[in-house]
A and B are shown apart, each in its own frame.
Chain A
Amino acid sequence: MSEMNENPLDILPEVLLAASAVFGLLLAAWLPRRRQWLVGLLAAAAAGAGIVAAAVAAAHPDVTAFGEAFTVDPVTSTSRIVVLGALLLVLALFARQFHAHPRESETYVLVQLSALGALVMAGTQDLLLLAAGYLLTSIPAYTLAGFRKDGPGTEAALKYYVIGALLGVLMLGGITVLYAAGRATGYPSLGPTLSDAPEGLVAAGAVGLLAGVLFKAGAVPAHFWVPDTVQGSTAPVAAFLTTIPKIGALAALLRLGEAVLADSGMPWPEVIAVIAAASMTLGNLAAFFQDDVKRLLAYSTISQVGYLLLPVAVTGRSDLAQPALLYYVAAYAVTNLGAFAVVCALPRATRLADYRGLARRRPLLSASLVICLLGLVGTPPTAVFVGKLEAFSAAIDGGYTWLTILAAVNTVASLFYYLRWIAPAVSPGNGTALTDSDRSARGVAYTATLISVGLGLAAGPVLPALGGSLAT
């Protein structure tokens, strides 16, 4: 172990986000209600600066901070850029809907804190810090889910909170057990010791640990909160909940698989493969006949996590796994946000049938919707296509051909419900629910669509940057 390294510049993006959240809270106490958007602006500035700092850090060699608890390697750097980029889009989604809202600045602060938790989860290589990141991501998010203070919002928050608290406790228990088995919490020292530890102990600990991380990722079997929470919370919050925490959770899973559990007594690839198969299949089946757009997108994110877990399952077995996951996460984040942005842009259209006539009334918005939904399917040349291509290649390379075939079959099945949404959007109709629309959300939808296609076309320069080795 090297000497303690506590240079705060190494974790500049995280520091910026935390500082902006605290400062925003103070600022909000002084600002009149009409001026509270300044807090949002501050958050956006912090996120923007964080992206620059993360990009600069990515160009430098890997470092660790806080002893070896936090590492800055390609996984962290990519997650930082994706989380902060997604945060920028989410902030833009909030801007209009929460403008002059009694709790406007609180929203921005909570979103930032939750995103900070996702960043911690992505970069940590210590189980205790992982637990801290988990709590930091979750607690603000519980509040956000219930932000509307109405029936569905309360139910959303309650469900989210109860399941989150339960699985969080399980996770802490799992961490304790792993600590007992391996006598360390840092991955670099924990990983080697676990291979000699009693298998049952490791398995029990890993299951508890996974419960928490899978909850954040929204994967089966910890997915029960997703549909109700997404449907019950406001659309921008739903966009946030289905995107940013997942990024941190998946990065954490990749690290756990690579550094801690791959060589332990636990059958890591098999477990993740089964979870992946269950997530994509159950998510898809449940999405089939949903009529509420938010609920449909909620189930769609469950199935997407299934595909995202393909590279996680073969981590350590295929060199393609890490770039595949990182690229797919970025592609998923931007495409999912694009689809949610369309939902945010049309606050009165909540059912699939309400979208009838969208192509007539708002051709660009309907084009965004079609591209984002087909993008989620994985139609080229959008980014998710390249992500899926990489994920499939990694899974076949790692010996999981059956899982890849299942993923392909699921992809086809998912087409069905995405087309159920696309069909009304492009067919003629009067579209009474489409009258008022939110301009900044429209902007986000167009931006996300452009990024989604652009990232797909420009995968050439992006992919190699994601391939560096983990700093363990």
Chain B
Amino acid sequence: MLTALVFAPTAVALLLLALPSRMPVQALRTVWVTTATAELGLVVAIWAGYRTAGGIQYELRARWIPSAGVGYHVGVDGLSLPLLALTCVLFLACALYSLRENRRFREFAALFLFLQTTCLGLFVSLDLILFFVFFDLSIVAMFFIIAGWGHHDAKRAALKFFLYTFIGSLALLLGFIGLYLAATPHTFDIVDLTRQNPLAGRSAYAALVLLAVVIGLAVKTPTVPFHTWLPPAHTEAPAAGSAILAGVLLKMGTYGFLRIAMPLLPDAWRRYAIVIVVIGVVSVLHGALVALAQTDFKRMVAYTSVNHMGYIILAVGAAAATADTSAQARSLAITGSVTQMVSHGLITGALFLLAGVMYERGRTYDMSAYGGLAATAPVFAALTGAAAFASLGLPGFSGFIAEFQIFTGSLGPRPLATALSVLGILLTAGLFLRALRQILMGPLRLPDAPGTPRVFPDLRAHEYAGIVPLLVLTVVLGVAPRFLLDVIEPASREVLEQLAR
């Protein structure tokens, strides 16, 4: 079932490429949207069949390269299931949003479908090499999306993105090899490694492996100081690419912390948790402050991603503090971090798609070029407002639930760090309100670039179809998060147990 879920998009992508070139583009669109819908349906079916008691389900284990300790091992649990669902939702939203994409549509759709395979594959992988394969292929696919469909400076941004994240992935690979060699018998299997805990009692070795793994994941997440690839990649990528990049690809890093770093290196993680916490706080504050200084709307959203990812890093670091804090609080922090991944994916996805709407009309992201859009494009204004408020963590939206859990869970173990991080909320509130006032309020002002019509039509049907469901889901999660938390909570307790060994 998982295998079908993972590889079906690539199969469809190959089919798309193999179709004769006379095929009307309408048919290609139908194929893409149908596939994305079917994938979402499949995830819903998986969710429906998932027992909330926890543990890995839908597990499949097959031999792949046994002599190298590599196996095809997939499965879902409470950490990965929400991210699988998020992936399918976002890819469907991007498929709908991109219905009017007219530059080389066939290749565009095929790349997105392939990218969907890599994202889903990563979240179901229970083998380090399988994880790495999907991790790397996602970089390749995203490179081509940015380079092929990005804005004018896309080549440089794509190259920077590729080089940075590839360095990260190789650091990750070295860490994985370290884990592999430490285990007896040598294996890359995450479940076996978790059970074995091969680096227990070998502190220097474990510290090196942890360093490699953390660098790899931190680049992908991205956290300060490895975040510099993110703003150009986001600014130059096409809207749907940015949405996937921020919504799904960044989660690969944070998910890796929960799936690999914490369970496989519990001793080292506990020892160096304070470093993680500091990185988290710095990311929160630095991301928010730099976002505050941006004049480019998309760059600003990109930097708020650094900020939001920082909360997750804070939570996973704080959860490791063993000193006299209740397990319940720490479990809350981990649950919050998973919720934040889902919530950030939805909200930032929506924000980037809205930025795409803006660019499509005005050919620039510069906020000072716009003004008073609320008058001509009320729906756009309303949705942007909603997304911005969701992003700054207003109650009623999913971001509030996630951040509330993170702060409540982290306050006990790390009071100072948490107090500092709360300032991040204040800063993001300020910057979003400022941006909203600039773009939406006041007298009407539109960019006057040559070739742009001086009108700002309101959202079109395909843009509605892409953006509205994301915001509806954030509200649903904000009002009734129980169905999500029920899935996550057993898994986060399990992570804590593994960490406490």
B132 near A419 with CB under 8 A, answer no
Question: Residue B232 at the A interface, CB < 8 A?
Answer: no
Given contacts A374-B140, A393-B180, A416-B163, contact A460 B174 (CB under 8 A): no
Given contacts A380-B132, A463-B68, contact A426 B147 (CB under 8 A): yes
Question: Residue A301 at the B interface, CB < 8 A?
Answer: no
A463: B residues at CB distance < 8 A: 65, 67-68
B interface SS class: helix
A460 near B177 with CB under 8 A, answer no
B155: A residues at CB distance < 8 A: 423, 427
Given contacts A380-B136, A386-B68, A460-B67, contact A415 B174 (CB under 8 A): no
A397: B residues at CB distance < 8 A: 181
B171: A residues at CB distance < 8 A: 408
Question: Nearest Cβ in chain A — how far from B464, in angstroms?
Answer: 31
Given contacts A415-B163, A419-B159, contact A392 B66 (CB under 8 A): no
Report Cα–Cα, A405/B147, bound state, in Å. Answer: 29
Q: Scoring A residues 363 to 395 as 1 if CB is less than 8 Å from chain B, else 0, what string do you get?
A: 100000000001000011100011001101100
Report Cα–Cα, A466/B243, bound state, in Å. Answer: 45
User: For residues 393 through 415 of chain A, which have their beta carbon under 8 Å from a beta carbon of chain B?
Assistant: 393, 396-397, 401, 404-405, 408-409, 411-412, 415
Question: Residue A467 at the B interface, CB < 8 A?
Answer: yes
B129: A residues at CB distance < 8 A: 380, 389
Q: CB < 8 Å: which of A379, A415, A426 contacts B137?
A: A379
A393 near B132 with CB under 8 A, answer no
B136: A residues at CB distance < 8 A: 379-380, 385
Report Cα–Cα, A404/B70, bound state, in Å. Answer: 20
What range describes how many residues of B lie at the interface?
Answer: 20 to 34
Q: CB < 8 Å: which of A381, A390, A411 contacts B68?
A: A390
B22: A residues at CB distance < 8 A: none
Given contacts A380-B132, A389-B177, A419-B159, contact A412 B170 (CB under 8 A): yes
B163: A residues at CB distance < 8 A: 412, 415-416
Q: CB < 8 Å: which of A405, A427, A464 contacts B67?
A: A464
B140: A residues at CB distance < 8 A: 374, 379
Question: Residue B195 at the A interface, CB < 8 A?
Answer: no
Question: Residue A133 at the B interface, CB < 8 A?
Answer: no
A423: B residues at CB distance < 8 A: 147, 155, 159
Report Cα–Cα, A392/B174, bound state, in Å. Answer: 8
Q: Scoring B residues 141 to 164 as 1 if CB is less than 8 Å from chain A, else 0, what string do you get?
A: 001100110000001000100110
User: For residues 289 through 305 of chain A, which have their beta carbon under 8 Å from a beta carbon of chain B?
Assistant: none
B170 near A380 with CB under 8 A, answer no
Report Cα–Cα, A113/B68, bound state, in Å. Answer: 36
Question: Residue A15 at the B interface, CB < 8 A?
Answer: no
Report Cα–Cα, A472/B155, bound state, in Å. Answer: 54
Q: Scoring B residues 47 to 79 as 1 if CB is less than 8 Å from chain A, else 0, what string do you get?
A: 000000000000000011111101000000000
Question: Residue B173 at the A interface, CB < 8 A?
Answer: yes
Q: CB < 8 Å: which of A385, A412, A426 contacts B167?
A: A412
Question: Nearest Cβ in chain A — how far from B213, in angstroms?
Answer: 14
A460 near B132 with CB under 8 A, answer no
User: For residues 225 through 260 of chain B, which have their beta carbon under 8 Å from a beta carbon of chain A?
Assistant: none
Question: Nearest Cβ in chain A — how far from B472, in angstroms?
Answer: 37
Which residue on chain B has the smallest CB distance to residue A407? B170
Report Cα–Cα, A216/B204, bound state, in Å. Answer: 41
Question: Residue B469 at the A interface, CB < 8 A?
Answer: no
Report Cα–Cα, A226/B208, bound state, in Å. Answer: 38
Which residue on chain B has the smallest CB distance to residue A379? B136
A408 near B174 with CB under 8 A, answer yes
Question: Nearest Cβ in chain B — how far from A185, in angstroms?
Answer: 35
B132: A residues at CB distance < 8 A: 380
Question: Residue B178 at the A interface, CB < 8 A?
Answer: yes
A459 near B68 with CB under 8 A, answer yes
Question: Nearest Cβ in chain A — how far from B389, in angstroms?
Answer: 40
Question: Nearest Cβ in chain B — how far from A415, in angstroms?
Answer: 6
Q: Scoring A residues 402 to 444 as 1 if CB is less than 8 Å from chain B, else 0, what string do you get?
A: 0011001101100110010001001100000000000000000
Question: Nearest Cβ in chain A — how far from B20, in angstroms?
Answer: 13
Question: Residue A232 at the B interface, CB < 8 A?
Answer: no
Report Cα–Cα, A381/B137, bound state, in Å. Answer: 8
Report Cα–Cα, A26/B17, bound state, in Å. Answer: 49
Report Cα–Cα, A408/B147, bound state, in Å. Answer: 24
A393 near B170 with CB under 8 A, answer no
B133: A residues at CB distance < 8 A: 380-381, 385
A389 near B68 with CB under 8 A, answer yes
Q: Scoring B residues 166 to 194 as 1 if CB is less than 8 Å from chain A, else 0, what string do you get?
A: 11001101100110110000000000000
A interface SS class: helix
Q: CB < 8 Å: which of A393, A415, A460 contacts B66?
A: A460
Q: CB < 8 Å: which of A379, A408, A459 contacts B65?
A: A459
Question: Nearest Cβ in chain B — how far from A449, in angstroms?
Answer: 14
Report Cα–Cα, A463/B129, bound state, in Å. Answer: 16
Given contacts A379-B137, A426-B148, contact A411 B170 (CB under 8 A): yes
A404 near B174 with CB under 8 A, answer yes
Report Cα–Cα, A393/B132, bound state, in Å. Answer: 15
Report Cα–Cα, A426/B107, bound state, in Å. Answer: 11
Given contacts A396-B181, A397-B181, A415-B163, contact A408 B67 (CB under 8 A): no
Q: CB < 8 Å: which of A405, A426, A467 contacts B174?
A: A405
Which residue on chain A has the smallest CB distance to residue B143? A419
Which residue on chain B has the smallest CB distance to residue A405? B174
Report Cα–Cα, A379/B18, bound state, in Å. Answer: 24
A460: B residues at CB distance < 8 A: 63-67, 70
Question: Residue A323 at the B interface, CB < 8 A?
Answer: yes
Report Cα–Cα, A416/B133, bound state, in Å. Answer: 20
Question: Nearest Cβ in chain A — how far from B174, in angstroms?
Answer: 6
Which residue on chain A has the smallest CB distance to residue B159? A419
Which residue on chain A has the smallest CB distance to residue B133? A380
Report Cα–Cα, A467/B65, bound state, in Å. Answer: 13
Report Cα–Cα, A108/B170, bound state, in Å. Answer: 42
A374: B residues at CB distance < 8 A: 140
Report Cα–Cα, A298/B137, bound state, in Å. Answer: 26
Which residue on chain B has the smallest CB distance to residue A395? B177
Instruction: Name, among B63, B166, B167, B178, the residue most crowded by chain A CB atoms within 10 Å (CB to CB).
Output: B166
Q: Scoring A residues 182 to 225 as 1 if CB is less than 8 Å from chain B, else 0, what string do you get?
A: 00000000000000000000000000000000000000000000
A396 near B178 with CB under 8 A, answer yes
Report Cα–Cα, A399/B166, bound state, in Å. Answer: 24
Which residue on chain B has the smallest CB distance to residue A397? B181
Q: Scoring B residues 120 to 142 as 1 if CB is less than 8 Å from chain A, else 0, what string do you get?
A: 00000000010011001100100
Instruction: Name, among B171, B174, B178, the residue most crowded by chain A CB atoms within 10 Å (CB to CB).
Output: B174
Given contacts A408-B170, A419-B162, A423-B155, contact A323 B178 (CB under 8 A): no
Which residue on chain B has the smallest CB distance to residue A359? B107
A426: B residues at CB distance < 8 A: 144, 147-148
User: For residues 225 through 239 of chain A, which have their beta carbon under 8 Å from a beta carbon of chain B?
Assistant: none
Which residue on chain B has the smallest CB distance to residue A463? B67
Report Cα–Cα, A374/B180, bound state, in Å. Answer: 25
Question: Nearest Cβ in chain A — how far from B336, in angstroms?
Answer: 33
Which residue on chain A has the smallest CB distance to residue B155? A423
Report Cα–Cα, A415/B170, bound state, in Å. Answer: 12
Question: Nearest Cβ in chain B — how far from A165, in angstroms?
Answer: 40
B144: A residues at CB distance < 8 A: 426
User: For residues 81 through 136 of chain B, which have their beta carbon under 8 Å from a beta carbon of chain A?
Assistant: 129, 132-133, 136
Report Cα–Cα, A419/B165, bound state, in Å. Answer: 14
**4 A-B pairs with the lowest CB-CB distances in the bound complex, closest first:** A380-B133, A408-B170, A463-B67, A464-B67
Write 28 A-B pairs (CB below 8 A) sorted by A numbering: A363-B17, A374-B140, A379-B136, A379-B137, A379-B140, A381-B137, A385-B133, A389-B173, A392-B174, A393-B180, A393-B181, A396-B174, A396-B177, A396-B181, A401-B208, A405-B174, A408-B171, A408-B173, A408-B174, A409-B170, A411-B170, A423-B155, A426-B148, A427-B147, A427-B155, A460-B63, A463-B68, A464-B66
Seed contacts A381-B137, A393-B177; 16 additional CB < 8 Å A-B pairs? A380-B129, A385-B136, A389-B68, A389-B173, A393-B68, A396-B177, A405-B174, A408-B170, A408-B173, A411-B170, A415-B162, A423-B159, A459-B68, A460-B63, A460-B64, A464-B67
